[in-house]
Amino acid sequence: MFRSKIALALVLASSPLLAQNAATAPAQRTLVRAGHLLDVKTGQLLNDQTIVVTGSTIQSIAPTASVPAQPSDTVLDLSSLTVLPGLIDVHTHLTMNTDFDPFREVTSTSAKEAINGVANARTTLMAGFTTVRNVGAYNFVDVDLRDAINAGQVPGPHMQVSGPLIGITGGHCDENLLPFQYHTVGDGVADGIPAVQHMVRQNIKYGADLIKMCATGGVLSKGDDPNAAQFTLEEMQALVADAHRLGRKVAAHAHGEQGILWATEAGVDSIEHGSYITDEGIAAMKQHGTYLVPTLYLEDWMIQNGHLPAFYQQKMLDVSAVAKANIRRAVQAGVKIAMGTDAAVYPHGLNAHELDVYVNQIGMTPLAALQSATLNAADLMGWTAKTGTLEPGKWADIIAVEKNPLDDIRTLQDVKFVMKAGVVYKK
């Protein structure tokens, strides 16, 4: 007993010293030795740079010659590669897959979609996309996926999630495949101002980081017209007002011109797709500072590889016939662009093909395309202080490729190294 008391006293006496030593011990560093570092703000390529990472964030960036390694450092040799910030996709559906057979759609379950999400989150991260917005998932499965990633249970990108899509009865965001006798209604269906306000508040209650609404009909939905506005202007205004008051941004699925105009007037933060946009819509988006999120590579992939039911296929062909020319005009007019893919309409992991379309089909410069997936995407998400560039204090979200993407944007389709929040997932 006497010796036990002495031992306890020694432990108690030493506790302040142990705490002091722990507090003063230098944080372990990871040195990322970059052969070339691309500044996505200016397009400047800096040679022989070292990014010092501590914990989840970037501590400093300096010429390699001025950053000698310390004995406790971890050194990552990327001297043969070009390093840049992790990419951002602001329009994904990680809990869904490229399979639009109606029977599969109506027999899916939350458990299946959760499994999809775990697999697709890893695939997306390994493709170099360290941050995504997930704009639509059933039963708040994307909330659970985000939380599992944040808790370190599964690998995946940083996520902002919307939960269920909010839309009208019979619209793009409803469940329209089953007949009346089943009385099936989509998770986010709301008609009229009070119902729309309730749905916004309910989504936020259950964990949504942003609100996704369907302002027009869509392509991969039965019985609606992508050109037709769905919510009224007044419903959209109520939805946006509630979302913004409660600190959430709003993404509006909108193909047709009237829906684009009303959603923009209502104050949404982004128009998703924008396929039938006209000069009037372009002017309105510029006036309001609204982002356009094109989703164009899916058209190429679907035409070449897709196997859609007839009631989807014709709409896909119709939209594909006009979207790229319209988006090109919007880009030339100076509408703000953030990169989105609609991944799930084509296989996850091919996200960077979107940038190839921006450069080689709609005329964006490689730097502007890259900025749409870094600077602009971070701005749209409200995460400029966290990601989008390689700067001290931001997340250590770092990727590396073999070539300068400004010389060949397609090099981003083959990412060799991925670090997210200071953790290496691919090297």
- Supply the residues annotated as catalytic: 212, 342
In the numeric block, which tokens belong to residue 159?
């996520």
Starting at the edge strand that comes first in sequence, how are the strands of the sheet with 129-134 ordered? Answer: 87-92, 129-134, 158-161
In the numeric block, which tokens belong to residue 280?
């009037």
The DSSP call for residue 187 is: T
The residues near 283 (Cβ < 8 Å, ≥ 6 apart) are 333
| Nearest residue to 74 (alpha-carbon basis) of 101, 98, 93, 50 | 50
Say how many C-beta atoms besides its own lie within 10 A of residue 175's C-beta. Answer: 17
Q: Does an H or E element contain 254, and which?
A: strand 249-254
**Alpha-carbon distance 281 to 227, whole Å?**
13
Can you tell me which residue has the tokens 């390093």?
83
**Alpha-carbon distance 172 to 165, whole Å?**
9
Half-sphere exposure of 168 (CA within 13 A, CB side): 21
H helices of 206-335, where? Answer: 233-245, 257-266, 279-288, 297-305, 310-333
